[in-house]
Structure 1
Amino acid sequence: MKKATLAVAVLAASTSAAWAQSSVTLYGILDAAVRYTTNNNGAQKQLVPGGMSESRLGINVTEDMGGGLKALANMEHRLNSDNGSAAATDFWRQAWVGVQSNEFGQVRLGRQYNVLFDLYTSTYASFRYSPYIEQFKPEIGLSAGARQSNMVKYLAQAGNIYGEIQVSAGEGTSPADKSIGGLLRYNDGTFGFGGAYLQVTDLLGKKVKATTIGGSYTSGPLYVNLSWGQNKFDAGGQLGGAFTGALIKGYNGLPVLNAAANDVKKRDMIMAGFTYQLTPQLNLGGQYWHAQQTHYTPALANTKSKGDYFAFVADYAFSKRTDAYLEADYTKHKGAVAFSNGATKRGGTMVGVRHRF
């Protein structure tokens, strides 16, 4: 009996020691805002599930295996804070496992953010305190879906230089899940700049080739950014509508833009903006996006459609975790592209609260 008790005690001690090398972190964001939108089949008033950030619940796992090696895992679910439903058909918007070496970098396997999204949000994000506005994020529309499934990603850093390479096999039924690409960036805390390329192949073998390059400057309370992005679509592909839909936030599953917007041969976008920390609690920011699009349809072959997008945000931090914000945005289209109701202009404003944990 004493021997059995001693064995159980030794096992418990060794188990506790092993667990002491691991950490499991629960994190999340809850964000909700009251939004008013013009020219959306009349004026629309609604509670939107995430104004500045999409609400989420995630789990990060890290295990120190010794010898400079760590095991990593992440699962992240996105949800609608207005009614508690899932924000997408894929319950886990991220789900990956990986290994990190102090000497050789990191390898991740599973569904995760792609290199375009990583560069946009880390190196020349629209706002210093929030990478983008969830309800108004034209630049994310050029990030080729932002995530891919079945991905193998390699990440490495040497001093101020950081790089990623991704390959996803496209084993499933999604037309956006076969990809290859990479990014390279430099950041010394003041200057940040980089570029990325990603090629996505749909189920018909048609390709979308996406490129972005840009930079940012940070000095005390001031942050400024400038970047360019481009998507080139093969004729007859499946992803023109899917990637176009991400340009403008939609509601209730209804189309936001007209059919001509989905007929895209090439789309270019330039974006520039700033954030200024007026006080320790108050941040002010503005962003401008200009997009140009060419078409495949013969009747539109000589038409160059354009879009201008503006946004302004005032964000007040009550604490390190909780902030309130006031946002205003404006969209204007020219050429063949318009909103689904035929309007070419639309304005919006919202007031919201966000809590991070």
Structure 2
Amino acid sequence: MKKSLIALAVLAAAGAASAQSSVTLFGIVDAVVTVGRGTVADRTQLTDSGYNSSRLGFRGTEDLGGGMSASFWLEAGLNNDNGEGDPTNVNNQASGTGAASAGRQGLTFNRRSTVSLAGGWGELRLGRDYTPQFWNLTVFDPFGTNGVGTTQTLNSIITGSTAVRASNTIGYFLPGNLGGFYGQVQYYMGENVQNGAATEDDGNGLGLRIGFANGPFNVAFSTSRTEYAAGDVRQSNIGGQWDFGIAKAMAHYSRDENGAIDGKGWLIGGLFPVGAGEIRASYSRYETDAAGQPETKKLALGYVHNLSKRTAVYTTWARVRNSGGAAQALGGSTTGVNANSSGFDLGVRHSF
């Protein structure tokens, strides 16, 4: 159950002036049995986040008056199969994740930890947050970049630490009254010592996303650049969605660069309402121009049945085909170079 704490803070020095504040506890617990099949090794496990990412969060807002507000958002990723938390990255570089990235750890607010000021002019947001370049990959993916159905444009992506989130960000979001136009710009910092070393700007970056949504139609473009001495990382994509009522069609296209390696991919898919449930389907591919031109193609099919507004059961099946030296595998399995792999999810999701 969502629980809200409402408090009125009386500003004695201002006489009758007052401000309203609210704090909300929220979260998702998603447990899934995942079966992966590969040519080298299979795997069966109870894990999390097959439909929605498991999380525990706190968010709050204070009305400052005059159309202004202040807010915070603290959100931690959970591994509810064993009670551990997800790791974070402190500097947008490989050095910022630490040894815990190989396994799991205590609770960290790795998903989001921000404080904001907002008004009719938009929102200024500071802290760890999603990057603009990630949103099109997840919003325009029928599987929401969760589980074995996750689009291959993310599973095979070459852009590293800032592909999904960045730490030390300063972001600005357009206000929501622009006739359907929306957007954000975000600057993030690696926070290295400025000592003249070639790596002093590693982890610094800038991302931009602009879109338009009106009725059944939604389209957006994003682009970003992250600096590294070994070669800058660039990530750009465009995606769209059209809701036909009987089905919701989605597609996106991406172009990425990591130093001398370029990658590109695309997805087409859709959501198809069926009674209290929904069929999900997608076909995605990703390739790079590395030696042999590694390429992975994925077909994913799934079904979600809503038992209530907060509880759902679901299942997903996916299969990948590798070529050019690629060896992408599903469900924690291991597969050989240029071999196939399949994955199967069966899970339950509850939100509060």
The TM-score range, normalised by the shorter chain, is 0.7 to 0.9
Distance 1:37 1:314, change over 3 A: same
What does residue 269 of structure 1 align with?
A: 265
Q: Determine which of 232, 241, 248 is the counterpart of 1:223.
A: 248
What is the rounded CA distance, in whole Å, between the counterparts of 2:210 and 2:246 in structure 1? 26
What does residue 75 of structure 1 align with?
A: 74
Residue 167 (structure 2) pairs with residue 149 (structure 1): yes
What does residue 134 of structure 1 align with?
A: 147
What is the rounded CA distance, in whole Å, between the counterparts of 1:304 and 1:266 in structure 2? 10
The question of whether the paired residues in 2 share the 8 Å contact of 1:56 and 1:77 is answered with yes
What is the rounded CA distance, in whole Å, between the counterparts of 2:10 and 2:227 in structure 1? 51
What does residue 199 of structure 1 align with?
A: 225
What is the rounded CA distance, in whole Å, between the counterparts of 2:76 and 2:202 in structure 1? 20
Distance 1:220 1:65, change over 3 A: same
Comparing 150-159 with 168-177, greater Cα deviation is found at: 168-177
The question of whether the paired residues in 2 share the 8 Å contact of 1:145 and 1:176 is answered with no
Q: Secondary structure at the match of 2:31?
A: strand
What does residue 170 of structure 1 align with?
A: 190
Distance 1:12 1:271, change over 3 A: closer
What does residue 23 of structure 1 align with?
A: 22
Q: Secondary structure at the match of 2:79?
A: coil
The question of whether the paired residues in 2 share the 8 Å contact of 1:50 and 1:135 is answered with no
Distance 1:53 1:313, change over 3 A: same
The question of whether the paired residues in 1 share the 8 Å contact of 2:132 and 2:207 is answered with yes
Query: How many equivalent residue pairs?
Result: 304
Distance 1:134 1:153, change over 3 A: farther
Residue 86 (structure 2) pairs with residue 87 (structure 1): yes
Deviation at 1:318, TM superposition (A): 0.2
Q: Determine which of 319, 326, 330 is the counterpart of 2:319.
A: 330
Deviation at 1:50, TM superposition (A): 2.1
Deviation at 1:307, TM superposition (A): 0.9
The question of whether the paired residues in 2 share the 8 Å contact of 1:267 and 1:291 is answered with yes
What is the rounded CA distance, in whole Å, between the counterparts of 1:346 and 1:192 in structure 2? 33
Residue 348 (structure 2) pairs with residue 353 (structure 1): yes
Deviation at 1:19, TM superposition (A): 8.1
The answer for unaligned runs of 5 or more in structure 2 is: 1-7, 90-107, 194-198, 329-333
The question of whether the paired residues in 2 share the 8 Å contact of 1:148 and 1:176 is answered with no
What does residue 281 of structure 2 align with?
A: 286
Q: Which amino acid aligns with 1:349?
A: F
Distance 1:18 1:220, change over 3 A: farther
What is the rounded CA distance, in whole Å, between the counterparts of 2:351 and 2:251 in structure 1? 28
Distance 1:19 1:348, change over 3 A: farther
CA RMSD in angstroms, aligned pairs only: 2.4
What is the rounded CA distance, in whole Å, between the counterparts of 1:275 and 1:115 in structure 2? 24
TM-score of the two chains, using structure 2 as the length reference = 0.80
Deviation at 1:205, TM superposition (A): 5.5
The question of whether the paired residues in 1 share the 8 Å contact of 2:126 and 2:168 is answered with yes
Distance 1:19 1:332, change over 3 A: farther
Superimposed CA distance per residue, residues 121-150 of structure 1 (whole angstroms, 9 cap, x where no aligned partner): 34xx222xx623234423334474311111
Superimposed CA distance per residue, residues 264-296 of structure 1 (whole angstroms, 9 cap, x where no aligned partner): x111011010101011x110010110112111x
What is the rounded CA distance, in whole Å, between the counterparts of 1:215 and 1:29 in structure 2? 27
Q: Percent identity?
A: 27
TM-score of the two chains, using structure 1 as the length reference = 0.79
Q: Secondary structure at the match of 1:38?
A: strand
Distance 1:12 1:96, change over 3 A: closer
The question of whether the paired residues in 2 share the 8 Å contact of 1:148 and 1:178 is answered with no
What is the rounded CA distance, in whole Å, between the counterparts of 2:245 and 2:32 in structure 1? 30
Residue 114 (structure 2) pairs with residue 119 (structure 1): no
Higher RCO structure, 1 or 2 (CA under 8 Å, sep 6+): 2
What is the rounded CA distance, in whole Å, between the counterparts of 2:79 and 2:37 in structure 1? 22
Distance 1:107 1:101, change over 3 A: same
Superimposed CA distance per residue, residues 134-169 of structure 1 (whole angstroms, 9 cap, x where no aligned partner): 344233344743111110010004120001101112
What does residue 185 of structure 1 align with?
A: 211
Residue 186 (structure 2) pairs with residue 161 (structure 1): no
Superimposed CA distance per residue, residues 96-133 of structure 1 (whole angstroms, 9 cap, x where no aligned partner): 1110012x1001011100002233334xx222xx6232
The answer for unaligned runs of 5 or more in structure 1 is: 1-10, 236-264
What is the rounded CA distance, in whole Å, between the counterparts of 1:338 and 1:65 in structure 2? 53
Superimposed CA distance per residue, residues 222-242 of structure 1 (whole angstroms, 9 cap, x where no aligned partner): 10011101111114xxxxxxx
Distance 1:100 1:89, change over 3 A: closer
The question of whether the paired residues in 2 share the 8 Å contact of 1:22 and 1:64 is answered with yes
What is the rounded CA distance, in whole Å, between the counterparts of 1:99 and 1:269 in structure 2? 36
Q: Secondary structure at the match of 1:21?
A: strand
Deviation at 1:18, TM superposition (A): 8.1
What is the rounded CA distance, in whole Å, between the counterparts of 1:49 and 1:76 in structure 2? 16
Which of the pair has more CA radius of gyration? 1
